[in-house]
Amino acid sequence: MCGIVGLHLREPSLEPRLGELLTAMLGQVVERGPDSAGVAVYGDPRLAPPGRTVVSMLGTSPAEVAEALPGTVAYDADATTVVHADPAQVTAALPGARIIGSGEGFAVLKGTGNPVALADSFRLPSVTGWQGIGHTRMATESAVTPEGAHPFSVGPGQCLVHNGSFANHATIRRELRARGVQFDSENDSEVGARFIAYHLEQGADLEKALRLLCERFDGFYTLLVSTSDSFAVVRDAVACKPALVAETDAWVAMASEYRALDVLPGIENARIFEPEPEEVYVWRR
């Protein structure tokens, strides 16, 4: 049992409130995942200045970044350090760093502990932008570590959060490794993220990649996947993991429980529905 929240803003006047609203949503699903938490946010000019490549990483500190990459801006967010630099440059200068997200326009922040406390340490309420996704984790398939926290971001601008478990993840991991795909953890959710990234690289769009995932993966799952221009939801054939979507002219939101949607402005006028099994829902900027 884990908690998922996500918010895709259509109304630019709400963008200054992205972090505030995402924090409120995250706080409503703490009981679903008290072990660890993480978020991915799109469009915050402090975390992700326009035109700059952003690298989110674990295993290093802003002080170590300053020593290894003089003049590089580093943002401290609990276990995560965000830097504005080329990933290859970061890897060469900081070989002990573990990259958990890279690309333009977004940043990934994650750590272990109480999700409400983590949101505060991320300074999430002050974040601005046009899209954000979050996750609270109750570990079942791997250790409670920052690396095992969601989101999993393995492609440029791409993030995945997952509630459930993939029964055949070991088989698919072997298949992807045979095609040259490398993995950072033993987490089953990373396999889903890598599978999607692989098919996007092969030319599939996000909807097609998620349809292929439904065809290939066994298990119970609700997935929320974000990219630099999209926000997508899909559930398995049984749809036993909870999910609700709310949509207004100003925003689209998804959460594991209604109470996480109830904090949003205009929820009383939203169209609210439960995603159908194996139907892919995609909203684009």
Active site residues: 2
Instruction: Determine the 3-state secondary structure of 18 from DSSP.
Output: helix
Nearest in space to 44 (alpha carbons), one of 68, 9, 94, 80 = 9
Quick one: three-class SS letters along 60-108? CCHHHHHHHCCCCCEEEECCEEEEECCHHHHHHHCCCCEEEEEEECEEE
**Contacts with 189 (C-beta within 8 Å, 6 or more apart), sequence order:** 141, 150, 152, 160, 161, 162, 166
Instruction: Determine the 3-state secondary structure of 263 from DSSP.
Output: coil
- Token pair listed for 119: 């949101």
